[in-house]
Structure 1
Amino acid sequence: MDFKDAHPRSSSRVFDESSKFSSESTEYFLGLIESPPSVITFPRPNSIFPLERYVPDDKGSREQLLQHERRFSDLQVPLVSESRTMSTWKWIIVFCGLSIGAFLAGLDATIVADAQGPILQSLGEIEKVAWIGVADPLGSGATILLIGSCYGIFQIKHMYMFSMLLFEIGNAICGASTSMNVMIVGRIMVGIGGAGIDLGALNYLSKFTPPRTRPIYNAILGISFGLGNILGPVIGGAFANAPALGWRWSFYINLPLAAIMTPLFLLLFPKHNPMPSISISQKLKLIDSLGFVLHVTAWVSFLVGVTMGGSAWSWSSISSIAVWTFFGISFFCYIIQQSLCLFTTSSDRIFPVHFLRSRTLVLLFIATAASMTALVTPIFYIPLLYQFAHGSSPMASALNLIPAIAAFFIIILCTGALLPRIGYYKAIYILASVFMIAGGIFMSRVTINTSNRTIYLYSILIGIGVGMIFQIAYDIGMSKVSSVGAPDTTATEESGGDEQKLIAYINVAQVGCAGIALSIAGCIYQNLGVKKLQEVFGDGVPVEIIREALGGLKGEGLGDMRPIDGDVMKSALDAVVATVGNVYWLVVVAGVVCAICGLGMKWERVILEPELKGNRRFSVNYEAIV
């Protein structure tokens, strides 16, 4: 491969991939590193630019070039970044569209939290009501890795628009559903579309923003998604309790918003084809179909086992044993298939196994999953606490999330702004774990007499801890993937590089693990709650009524159980509030896990855009719109 002048009078350089790399070009490239130009332009984009891909096979030259790379950063970050090639006003509009999409995806993930009662009254089938909430993360978690692979293969704009279309079709199905089965199918489609929207936004940022400002954009996207998550119960409860509208408008509201945004997607969203020279049929062959099937079976069987176990099925029932056995077999086959690359290649397998060689990437995944656990637990269980402790309506109870919302938003934005300047991410994770542990312990000790001010303070602690680490794993991970290296570098370049794999990898922890956290929290809440209330009521109240009351499906608080004797009812309310407190031990565990991950990380500074001689930046302006 030879370096050539882009134009006789231009300081930019063009990298011609069609020619062979020569020793003279190696010397020329080393000269660029010693005295780099302001901008280097490449005719085709690459998601990551590890230098070892563009050096000759000669060992001495390769080592010499890599030594130059290691000078500029503690973490061997890529020396180049893909900058956007559109005007500022156009980028602002595009980013606003991405933020709105992230908000809608977050909104739909939790919009049913306070609408389950009216939905149950309309559709019936109490035994399936838990799936209204679980179906969304089931769909997203099952398909995140596949969608991430597709973003590294297919046109990014087409992928994003298809995800938005699937998302809106799912909402239309939910709004028009006449049975619980139709509702569940629609929710699964919403989850799949939402995962594509999230990954699309992150991929757009990776293609059109420089590394140094990317944390700010990631923080704003995180705020948009988190705002949707937290406002979901408020908006869903408002529609569900509005006689003139009803719960169906919780889903229909997305359709006019999508109609307004469609011209924006069609006219302004830029195109980026990571593999322009490969046909559609060749691209489809790169997908790890067997890995995808095994991932889906393992994911679905796990969520079914956790969701149904102890509530619809006893843990010792044949159904529970069969589901958990199926999960074990499918998960084992998944591990074997990915490890040995059966019917796939090391660069195309659906899970980036080579990331597991990096201690930091493994710890980032675990810590991100822990932060998501600490986020979704208050979102779902603070409103329940107020419904039982104070008899608040679903909408009024959801408004008590505002203090945690404010803390979460402020901290996530501050962390995004400070990360490029501070750089020492280990300290951020350790400090975040302290807030999460403290907030979780305090919330677990809340009683029916605890004041609102105290509960707000406790929830703020959790919001601060989660906000500190909610989005930064993407930026830290981007600086690490170049040093991990794929088993087959050439193939990895052709399949979109590790950048898309990293985005999907972290997104599995962030979005996919939300379903696991909610399933575990629901299992604790239902099983302990039924046990405690049975001790209070004895045989006077059927178990079915207790389960409906615990889910807020019988009106406000304990609903139809209010006529019971006052002392007994007080004991029942105390028992339910104590059960909600037990759920917050999940937040404590998440904080402990985050602390362990933080302590296990290296004490190093992540440099998102390395500085070179004369304080000049080695940047690349890709012609990304193809």
Structure 2
Amino acid sequence: MDSNKRLHWTLGALLVGLFLSSLDQTIVSTALPTIVQKIGGLEHISWVFTAYMLTSTSVMPIAGKLSDMYGRKTFYLSGLVVFLIGSLLCGLSQSMTQLIVFRGLQGIGGGMMAANTFALLFSLMPVGKVARVQSLFMSVLAMSSILGPSIGSFITSQWDWRWNFFINAPLGIIAIIIISFAMKEKKPESSIRLKIDYLGAALLVTTTGSVLLALKMGGINYAWRSWPILELFALGAAALIAFLFVERRAAEPILPLGMFYNRTVAGTAGVTFMQGVIMFGALLYIPLFVQGGIGGSVVDAGNTVTPMMAAVMAGATMSSFMIRRFSWRTCALLSMLLAGTGLYIITHLPLEVNKWTIRSDMALIGLGIGIMMPIAQMAITTAVDPRYRGVANSTVTFTRNIGGVFGASLMAVIVNHHLASSIEAREQTKLADAIHLGFWFLVAAALVGIIIASLMGRARYVNQPIPPQNETVSTIK
């Protein structure tokens, strides 16, 4: 088998891994009622999602940094193994507590994979080719979000809910075999001399975990002004301050702060954060607006999300052509402008609006989101020193996830507060007005994204046919 065929097999295996880790964030949604019937634990059901999100997000920057130091292939395969073990244990769970713990383990593996998937792409081929292949990966990412609930529903109804987790095993094992034999990794020569920043890693996990927990539980498990939520925010703030202090003095920081002095890196991280705010807020509240605000059915609500995710795939494909023609700033500005325009339109939609109008508007939002996804990976990766590519790539997904949780939580506060204080007589009108107000928050997020993007400078894509020699690379045998 020649090198090109080996490369194609390897890319296919990485696509499978990306699809599985992304699919597991949505596939269990339709299976949860059945899971509760079988093993109980209704009061803890939200933690099935929270555990995966919490651990996967927290581990991303750490896995990215360690892969820069000791090799990306090793950490990717380790993450895939942990993910599969977690999947099997989830399928064997006999209680909701066990399922939540094993979902957390699954998330650790998923986070390790997510931190290295795109960094591996840059190690496998020249940057010019990555620009095209990356769009395919982003399309698979979006497709998994569309197909997840449908696949979960089919598996649960035709087989058993446990197969939503067991299904990962055969595909994951095939991916492990392909990657193990197709790639030969060149380890960094200086890895022996490097010291792991254990304190920085612990403080980063503490900061991320406490803030995400506060945002997830605030207004749901506890009031926002309650002591548990305030203590979590205080712990997160204290850990963040200590983290910044430690990182400035660490010999090999877990998150090199110096790379954020680069306008492209800082701007991309900021725009990606706002992208997460917009994407999560739209996905959560537009279906609610359709079903509860304008009287649509469950099917109508689901059909509203599909055009958005399909447009995300289209936007990701468009970006591969835009990369060679425009600066990162121009691409980011267009992304935020399209998404912001779509959100602004929603704030003015009446209750009698045609559902196809909403679907078209969702497509406009998705197009903006999709354009930024590959752009963010390319911009931040080409802007940093090659030895920081792992942590740089993980920063993109990390900031998007943090932005998503922050945006969804703050939008919930806005919507719920307006509902509580509204004196409207009709429940449907009250809900529609409250969600409209929430969408104004998303419009504001897009405006902030536009401002950040405008400060990114004039940097643009420059073709690099051969990876730098001092980079840790994974080459095809």
Same fold by TM-score greater than 0.5? yes
What amino acid sits opposite 1:516 in the alignment? F
Q: Deviations over 1:137-182 (max 9, x none)?
A: 2112211111012211234333222111111222223333333322
Q: CA 1:88 to 1:167, structure 2 compared with 1: closer, same or farther past 3 Å?
A: same
The whole-number CA distance in structure 2 between the counterparts of 1:128 and 1:450 is: 37
Structure with bigger gyration radius: 1
Post-superposition offset of 1:89: 1.4
Unaligned segments of structure 2, at least 5 residues: none
Matched, 1:176 2:89: no
What amino acid sits opposite 1:156 in the alignment? R
The whole-number CA distance in structure 1 between the counterparts of 2:421 and 2:159 is: 37
Post-superposition offset of 1:302: 0.6
Q: CA 1:619 to 1:310, structure 2 compared with 1: closer, same or farther past 3 Å?
A: closer
Deviates more, 1:584-593 or 1:200-209: 584-593
SS at the partner of 1:327? helix
TM-score, with length taken from structure 2: 0.88
The residue number in structure 2 matching 1:258 is 172
Alignment of 1:212-227 (within 5 A): 212-227=128-143
The residue number in structure 2 matching 1:322 is 231
The residue number in structure 1 matching 2:387 is 497
Q: Deviations over 1:77-126 (max 9, x none)?
A: xxxxxxxx961111111111111211222212233444444444555445
Matched, 1:378 2:267: no
Report runs of 4+ in structure 1 exceeding 6 Å deviation.
Answer: 617-623
Matched, 1:101 2:101: no
Matched, 1:274 2:164: no
Assess if the C-alpha contact under 8 Å between 1:104 and 1:225 holds in 2: no
Alignment of 1:227-626 (within 5 A): 227-239=143-155, 242=157, 244-268=158-182, 270-275=183-188, 282=192, 286-339=195-248, 341=249, 344-345=250-251, 348-388=252-292, 389-390=294-295, 392-393=297-298, 397-420=301-324, 422-446=325-349, 448-482=351-385, 497-524=387-414, 527-528=416-417, 531=420, 571-609=426-464, 624=475
Q: Deviations over 1:383-423 (max 9, x none)?
A: 44444455644x77434322222222122112113312x03
SS at the partner of 2:70? coil
Q: CA 1:457 to 1:499, structure 2 compared with 1: closer, same or farther past 3 Å?
A: same
The whole-number CA distance in structure 1 between the counterparts of 2:413 and 2:43 is: 14
What amino acid sits opposite 2:233 in the alignment? W
The whole-number CA distance in structure 2 between the counterparts of 1:275 and 1:504 is: 19
The whole-number CA distance in structure 2 between the counterparts of 1:299 and 1:116 is: 26
Q: Deviations over 1:465-510 (max 9, x none)?
A: 111111212222233224xxxxxxxxxxxxx812223222223223
Q: CA 1:117 to 1:297, structure 2 compared with 1: closer, same or farther past 3 Å?
A: same
The whole-number CA distance in structure 1 between the counterparts of 2:378 and 2:203 is: 29
Assess if the C-alpha contact under 8 Å between 2:272 and 2:400 holds in 1: yes
Aligned with residue 117 of structure 2, among 174, 197, 201: 201
SS at the partner of 1:271? strand
What amino acid sits opposite 2:171 in the alignment? L
SS at the partner of 1:213? helix
What amino acid sits opposite 1:456 in the alignment? R
Deviates more, 1:130-139 or 1:395-404: 395-404
Post-superposition offset of 1:462: 0.4
Assess if the C-alpha contact under 8 Å between 1:372 and 1:470 holds in 2: no
SS at the partner of 1:183? helix
Q: CA 1:230 to 1:370, structure 2 compared with 1: closer, same or farther past 3 Å?
A: farther
Aligned with residue 185 of structure 1, among 74, 91, 101: 101
Q: CA 1:449 to 1:116, structure 2 compared with 1: closer, same or farther past 3 Å?
A: farther
The residue number in structure 2 matching 1:557 is none
The whole-number CA distance in structure 2 between the counterparts of 1:114 and 1:261 is: 26
TM-score, with length taken from structure 1: 0.69
The whole-number CA distance in structure 1 between the counterparts of 2:168 and 2:86 is: 10
Unaligned segments of structure 1, at least 5 residues: 1-84, 483-495, 537-567, 610-616
SS at the partner of 1:110? coil
The whole-number CA distance in structure 1 between the counterparts of 2:173 and 2:119 is: 23
What amino acid sits opposite 1:274 in the alignment? K
The residue number in structure 2 matching 1:12 is none
* Bigger helix share: 2
Q: CA 1:444 to 1:171, structure 2 compared with 1: closer, same or farther past 3 Å?
A: farther
Assess if the C-alpha contact under 8 Å between 2:124 and 2:474 holds in 1: no
The whole-number CA distance in structure 1 between the counterparts of 2:150 and 2:281 is: 16
Post-superposition offset of 1:367: 0.6
Q: CA 1:286 to 1:432, structure 2 compared with 1: closer, same or farther past 3 Å?
A: same
The whole-number CA distance in structure 2 between the counterparts of 1:313 and 1:473 is: 35
SS at the partner of 1:584? helix
The whole-number CA distance in structure 1 between the counterparts of 2:88 and 2:309 is: 29
Q: CA 1:618 to 1:131, structure 2 compared with 1: closer, same or farther past 3 Å?
A: closer
Assess if the C-alpha contact under 8 Å between 1:234 and 1:399 holds in 2: no
Q: CA 1:138 to 1:329, structure 2 compared with 1: closer, same or farther past 3 Å?
A: same
RMSD across aligned C-alpha pairs, in angstroms?
Answer: 3.0
